[in-house]
Structure formats: C-alpha cells, structure tokens
Structure 1
Amino acid sequence: MGKFSDRPDIEAAAQKVRPAIGAKREIQHLPTVLWEGETVDLLATGQYGQGVGLVALTDRRLLFLKHGILSQALEDFPLGNISSVQWTTGLLMGTLSVYASGNRADIKSVPKTHGEALSSRLRMVISTPPAAAAPAAAVPAQAGAPDIASRLATLDQLRVAGAITDAEYQERRAAILASI
C-alpha cells in the first residue's frame, strides 16, 4: 500500500489508523494547515458538525479537518484551552467530547480503538503540567500520589492501545517516577 504523506510524523500516525482510514484527502492536505514546527501525534476519522473528516492530535492542538470537493472545514482546539475530555463508546464507534473554553465539541463516529487511544493521550497531555511550572519536588509526596498513579495508569493504556512505542513508554514512565 502507498504512502499517505512525505512527512514522517504524519506517515507514522496514518499507518497506525490504516484499517479505519477514510480520510486520505485530508491527510494529504494536513501539512498545509499545520503551524511551523508542529508535529502530528495521532490521527483518527470522525464526524464533526455536518462533515466526516480527520481528527489530528498534534503537539500543540487537536484539530478536525474536512477537505471535500464541495466544502472544507477546519476546527482547532489549542491544548492549553482543553479542560476535559470524555470518551463514550458503542460496539464499534464512539464519541469524543472535548471541553474547551467553556464549550463542548462532540466528534462522533470515531473508531473505538482510535478514540480510546486519542482520549487517553489527550488526558495525559492536558494533565501534564507545562515545563515552566513549579518543580514536582515542591509538591508533598502524599498529595501527588493519586496523580502519579493515574498518570501511570494512563501511560499503560496508551501502550496497550499502541498509541506510544515501548521506548516512549519507558521514557515517560521513568520521568513520572522521577517526579516522586
């Protein structure tokens, strides 16, 4: 099967969702809507508003892209504005609800395995404090214990879902444990 993109980050993300891909045109158009230096982490297909398109999680935002012949749509949610993520699922598909800036956006008909990986990764990203925040050592160990456990559980889910490699898992696990 052919390549989806010349960009390694987009190609790697597209290869993970290959069985459910219905958005080849959107994947090919994706580099034109990315910001300079922005990298793609995960992809999925889904329905948002009146269109079916591509859901992309990057290092800076979650975006929905529909690039059809007759209509196009782009909606993005900067990661810093996302306060909560909800994943509800049926037998094969689910709905990813994103709460950002006081609003709720529902992305429907997301394939179950890709939606689980996407929601887990989003939860991990929005729960991880920015690098400029106070060091973890300043937080008493007792107060951080449940947070550490939930971060480790989320990390395990990401690895099982195939959203991160074993090397990424080991690196992030070590970082979480080092923050205790």
Structure 2
Amino acid sequence: MNKKEIKALPEILWQDEVVKKACSGTYKLDIGLLVATNKRVIFISKTLFSLKVEDFAYDKITSIEYSTGMIFGDIVIYAAGNKAEIEDIVKHDAKDMAEFIRAFISNNSENEFDLTKEIEKLAKLKEQGVINDDEFAQMKAKLIAKM
C-alpha cells in the first residue's frame, strides 16, 4: 500500500524536510499518500506513468476539518482560497492527521518570526540608549539574515 509514493518521497522532500505523519487517501480521484512534514502538507499520487504532487504550505492553510464514518473518514484542507478534499482515509488516521496539522499550524503561528516587530524592538533599544548605532546595525543584519 502506497509503496510507489513512499519510494518517490526522497525526490519530493526539500532539504531538511522531515516526515511527521502520513496516511493513505484519495484526492481528485487519485489514490495516494497524504504526508505532513515539518514544512508542509503534501499529497502524492504515483502511477506507472505519472507522478502527481500537490502541496499545501502551513502558512497558507486557513482551516482544516475532518469527518469520520464507520470505517473511513475525510479531511478538508482550506488553503489560499482553495478547498482540497482528501477522502477514503482510515477513520482513526483522518482524525489523527487533521489534529496533527491543526496543532502544527497553531504552534507555528504562535512562534512565527516577524522581522518588522524585531527591528522595531531594536530601534526602541537604540532610542533608549541601550545599544549604539553600530550594535543596532549588526543586530539588524543578523535578523535579516535569519529570513
């Protein structure tokens, strides 16, 4: 089950991207693998003649919902004005995956790096005389390099 998609993962994953959770499902009539990584959510479908990959950046996901039946469940991902419905997921996997994605988004949005706010904090320290012009410039350069 999903061996073709799992074999294709190394060529799809970005550098430093780590798989956190995965489950089987159907998206746009293609059977494949739904993968949550530390960077994004990816749906992969591989056949003998084609490879289809669709990804959803965590910062573009506005909402996620799931539903379960007796055996199978569905996940709906709302991202950048689009609605992606992944169906036919094993019941407990649908809930686990949706809750994982929801928690990951929540945790990362709370810790999101805001360059403007950080530079404003530095400017305030400079105004208060806590740091000088050179220190301000060095710290600002380090913040920009983080981006």
The answer to whether the aligner puts 1:122 opposite 2:101 as a matched pair is: yes
Match of 1:49 in 2: 28
Aligned residue identity for 2:73: G
Unaligned runs of 5+ in 1: 1-21, 135-180
Q: Which of structures 1 and 2 has the bigger CA Rg?
A: 2
SS of 2:113's partner is: coil
Q: Distance in 2 between matches of 1:111 and 1:102?
A: 27
Q: Name the TM-score, length of structure 2 as normaliser.
A: 0.73
**Which of the residues 3, 24, 28 maps onto 2:3?**
24
Aligned residue identity for 1:78: A
Paired residue total: 113
For the aligned residue pairs, the C-alpha RMSD in angstroms reads: 1.3
The answer to whether the aligner puts 1:132 opposite 2:107 as a matched pair is: no
Please identify which structure carries the higher strand content. 2
**1:83–1:126: 8 Å Cα contact kept in structure 2?**
no
Unaligned runs of 5+ in 2: 118-147
Q: Distance in 2 between matches of 1:98 and 1:73?
A: 18
- State the shift of 1:131 in Å: 4.2
- State the shift of 1:79 in Å: 0.6
Match of 2:42 in 1: 63
Q: Name the TM-score, length of structure 1 as normaliser.
A: 0.60
Match of 1:14 in 2: none
Match of 2:14 in 1: 35
- State the shift of 1:78 in Å: 0.5
**1:46–1:52: 8 Å Cα contact kept in structure 2?**
yes
- State the shift of 1:103 in Å: 1.1
Q: For CA contacts below 8 A with separation 6 or more, give which structure has more relative contact order.
A: 2
Match of 1:160 in 2: none
**Percent same amino acid among aligned pairs?**
31
